[in-house]
Amino acid sequence: MSSLQAVHNIPEICAQLGITDVVLSPGSRCAPLTIAFARHPAITVRTVPDERAAAFIGLGLAQAQRRAVALVCTSGTAGLNYAPAVAEAYFQQIPLVVFTADRPPEWIDQLDGQTIRQADLYGAHAKGTFTFPADTSHTDAHWHAGRLVSEAIGMAEQFPAGPVQVNVPLREPFYPKAGEELQFEPVKVTRELPGRSLLPAALLHELREAIQTTSRVLVVAGQHPANAELLLAVRQFAAAYQVPVVGDLIANLHLPAAPYFDQRLRPLGRQDVFMAVPEPGLKQALKPELLITFGQSLISKALKLYLRTAKPAQHWHIQPAGAVADTFQSLTKVVRMEPADFFAVMSQEVSRGNAGGGSKANVSADPQNPSTDYGISSNPLVTSLTQQVTGSIPVDSTSSVELPGFEPAPTHTAVPDVTRVAVPPAPTGSFRLTWPGSGAHLSEAVASAKAAYLKPWLAAENWAEGFLREFMQQPHQPFNEFTAIYRALQLLPDRTALHLANSMAVRYANILGVPAGRTVEVFANRGTSGIDGCTSTAIGAALAQPGRPVVLLTGDVAFFYDRNAFWHNYPTPNLRVILLNNHAGGIFRLIDGPRQQPELEEFFETRQPLTAENTARDFHLRYHTARTFAELESALPVFFAPESGASLLEITTDSPTNAEFFEQYRAAVRSSFT
Ligand SMILES: Cc1ncc(C[n+]2csc(CCOP(=O)(O)OP(=O)(O)O)c2C)c(N)n1
């Protein structure tokens, strides 16, 4: 048996545990790993020379595939260059298995070349760190080596997923003899089978009762991958209890869940707009008593600050395992369940008690009618709630249609004074919320109070949508990136994976949203909000899903920072990069603090004169440019066309003009309350 056999077995263990993709960066010390991965028949191997970009590409692959990706690099600073992506993976809960080749222990700190202290290289930003045995000649050491790789993969994927380091000390010789074949031995792996926990029935009953008897229940979702089961459960919950559900774009709740649910019960997403309205009456009307959250971070600073001041009496966070942040300084309960299970179970008994069906657990597909494939549309409870809500709230039904060009729409709709809107009449007839066991009913007073709490949220959302439509289409605008993004978002192809770079790209998009009904899944490196790997992450996604459009919206500093994302030999014909080149870190002109300082341009914005034309040429991206609305309108359809191939659209604007236009938008929001 070769002294490297335990190393050569690593790809086989990875393959058996479901890893299909590896991103390698070149080096000599890592050669045994490189060669073993490259020769393994079941693993797709890619080489990316810049380790920072390589690790983010791996992260993008893992995020898109929803399974661990392996990284392999040589010894020395190579592994340190993985650190930004490792930290992002840690906070975004993305599984990465990081193999760092190393000198054997006796040569650390002995003035040998390309040697640093690699044990526990990522410290608190890795879920775990493992040291592969330097000598595996003893059968126990051989067993140990295989066991720890298996454990590392399990740890990376187990919730909350994250990065794990396997440091692999290697002695020469690194290379097989010319013509020598590698053997992949049969290996033993240990597979982790994920479980899903349910709370004891008595506790579930208690939680359900609290939700039923509390008038002002609010659900807020943080960053979360798209999940059809969760979407369905959340909407069922919202319908069953008349609860407003609010999610940023990166919570992916905007995705069409199921056609039978009325759009008016959809999760809300325009909080950046209506939360900026300085009206205490509105804020009072929106104040929750019970806040239920799930997912990771929020983009909407306005919502975060609001919830920190409008402290709910109770805040429950739903998360199956791991540390929980008390983001709003009001956390009272951590519910250890999958959010999809929590929302399904909480609404299940309500539906069952009322309608003899309709919950996820007891529905059946209707083969005659694919639009009601869970049978929920015939649930009288849902119908009753739908009618009740839709009957009382005016909703603009044009939100999902193609928008015209820049038509005159000069006046802005005023925010309805929700504090003075009459409380809708209590529901009548068969409307009852019940739960088994107690036989209790939701009193009409509580039902009425719930409806009264939902109403201002829906009204605020509808107002914000109308306001945005009018504001963004006003005539005589200077060419600016906020409106340019609005136009681009309207034309996103269906099934797009939309990657939003930090910082204004993700913020603008969160304000504007994507057109209703469009299947656009949204990603952003909001684990650490770095600008250092946004392009690489999008490229990883494009490589993972070649049949799907991947659109990256990025600022110029983030884009030029990560140009090495393109420095490899793997085509990404499905990639579209929209570069907002304002020749500066425009965000610093938009936030109080830096914008008032004389150092703004040189030390914060870091003004730069580059255009991306040469980058596009270097990396064979089709190049489009837009400096006016007319150019943008003609470029967008060609740019998004599937046959265009990997393309870059550079939208050139002026940072002070952008700041001025965005200030006009903010002022219009502030003055819209009547
Ligand atoms: C790795 C890293 N370094 C620095 C920052 C701080 N930072 C946040 S936004 C930004 C400027 C981004 O500029 P650009 O990409 O042009 O986007 P814009 O601000 O114009 O939206 C910087 C330097 C960061 N988030 N991450």
Tens of pLDDT, residues 283-301 = 999 999 999 999 999 999 9
Nearest CA to ligand 1 atom 20: 586
Q: How far is the CA of 92 from the centre of ligand 1 (A)?
A: 19
Mean pLDDT of the chain: 86
Are both 459 and 497 inside the same structural domain? Answer: no
How many Cα atoms within 13 Å fall on the side-chain side of residue 159? Answer: 14
Say what the pLDDT of residue 591 is.
86
Are both 437 and 485 inside the same structural domain? Answer: no
Domain boundary among 465, 498, 513: 465
Q: What is the pLDDT of residues 344-396, one digit of tens each?
A: 999 886 655 443 333 333 222 333 332 222 222 233 333 333 333 333 222 22
Closest C-alpha to 25, from 104, 93, 82, 108: 82
**No. of H helices and E strands in the chain?**
23, 17
Q: How far is the CA of 594 from the centre of ligand 1 (A)?
A: 13
Are both 294 and 394 inside the same structural domain? Answer: yes
Are both 582 and 660 inside the same structural domain? Answer: yes
Q: What is the best residue among 88, 508, 587 to mutate for testing ligand 1's pocket, by most ligand atoms within 8 Å of CB?
A: 587
Distance CA 17, CA 35 (A): 20
What CATH number is associated with residue 68? 3.40.50.970
**Is residue 298 helix, strand or coil?**
coil
Q: What is the pLDDT of residues 505-548, one digit of tens each?
A: 999 999 999 998 889 999 999 999 999 999 999 999 999 999 99
Say what the pLDDT of residue 431 is.
22
Say what the pLDDT of residue 515 is.
92
User: Is residue 506 one of the residues assigned to a domain?
Assistant: yes
Q: How far is the CA of 624 from the centre of ligand 1 (A)?
A: 23
Buried b (16+ CB within 10 A) or exposed e, 521-545: bbbbbbbbebbbbbbbbbbbbbbbb
What CATH number is associated with residue 334? 3.40.50.1220
| pLDDT band at residue 183 under the 50/70/90 scheme | confident
Q: How far is the CA of 600 from the centre of ligand 1 (A)?
A: 14
Q: Residue 428 pLDDT > 80, yes or no? A: no
User: Is residue 99 one of the residues assigned to a domain?
Assistant: yes
Q: Which residues contact 499 (CB under 8 A, 6 or more apart)?
A: 60, 523, 524, 534, 537, 538, 541, 550, 551, 552, 553
Q: What is the pTM of this model?
A: 0.88
Are both 143 and 242 inside the same structural domain? Answer: no
Say what the pLDDT of residue 414 is.
55
Nearest CA to ligand 1 atom 8: 503
Say what the pLDDT of residue 257 is.
63
Are both 495 and 618 inside the same structural domain? Answer: yes
| pLDDT band at residue 154 under the 50/70/90 scheme | very high
**Poorest-confidence range of 50-54, 168-172, 179-183, 439-443?**
439-443
Are both 594 and 639 inside the same structural domain? Answer: yes
Say what the pLDDT of residue 558 is.
98
Distance CA 652, CA 556 (A): 10
Say what the pLDDT of residue 360 is.
34
Q: For 29-50, what is the mean pLDDT?
A: 98
Q: How far is the CA of 528 from the centre of ligand 1 (A)?
A: 12
Say what the pLDDT of residue 263 is.
57
Please state the domain count of the chain. Answer: 3
Q: Which atom of ligand 1 is nearest to the CA of 586?
A: 20
Are both 333 and 430 inside the same structural domain? Answer: yes
Distance CA 215, CA 451 (A): 8
- Tokens 């526990």 correspond to 120
User: Is residue 185 one of the residues assigned to a domain?
Assistant: no
Nearest CA to ligand 1 atom 23: 585
Q: How far is the CA of 638 from the centre of ligand 1 (A)?
A: 29
Residue 212, class by beta-carbon neighbours within 10 Å (0-12 exposed, 13-18 middle, 19+ buried)?
buried
Domain boundary among 439, 465, 491: 465
Domain boundary among 433, 465, 497: 465
Nearest CA to ligand 1 atom 24: 530
Say what the pLDDT of residue 26 is.
98
Tokens, residue 72: 């392999």
Closest C-alpha to 494, from 571, 428, 548, 574: 548
Q: Which atom of ligand 1 is nearest to the CA of 529?
A: 25
Are both 454 and 533 inside the same structural domain? Answer: no
| Cβ atoms 160, 148 nearer than 8 A | no
Are both 88 and 159 inside the same structural domain? Answer: yes
User: Is residue 603 one of the residues assigned to a domain?
Assistant: yes
User: Is residue 653 one of the residues assigned to a domain?
Assistant: yes
What residues does ligand 1 touch, defined as CB less than 6 Å away? 502-505, 529-532, 555-558, 582, 585-587
User: Is residue 108 one of the residues assigned to a domain?
Assistant: yes
| pLDDT band at residue 261 under the 50/70/90 scheme | low
User: Is residue 179 one of the residues assigned to a domain?
Assistant: no
Distance CA 425, CA 674 (A): 25
Are both 328 and 450 inside the same structural domain? Answer: yes
Structural domain span for residue 116: 5-169
Give the Cα-Cα-Cα angle 334, 339, 344 (nearest 5 degrees).
120
Q: Residue 214 pLDDT > 50, yes or no? A: yes
Q: How far is the CA of 261 from the centre of ligand 1 (A)?
A: 39
Are both 343 and 292 inside the same structural domain? Answer: yes
Q: For 261-287, what is the mean pLDDT?
A: 87
User: Is residue 516 one of the residues assigned to a domain?
Assistant: yes
Q: What is the pLDDT of residues 579-610, one digit of tens each?
A: 999 999 989 999 889 989 999 999 999 999 99
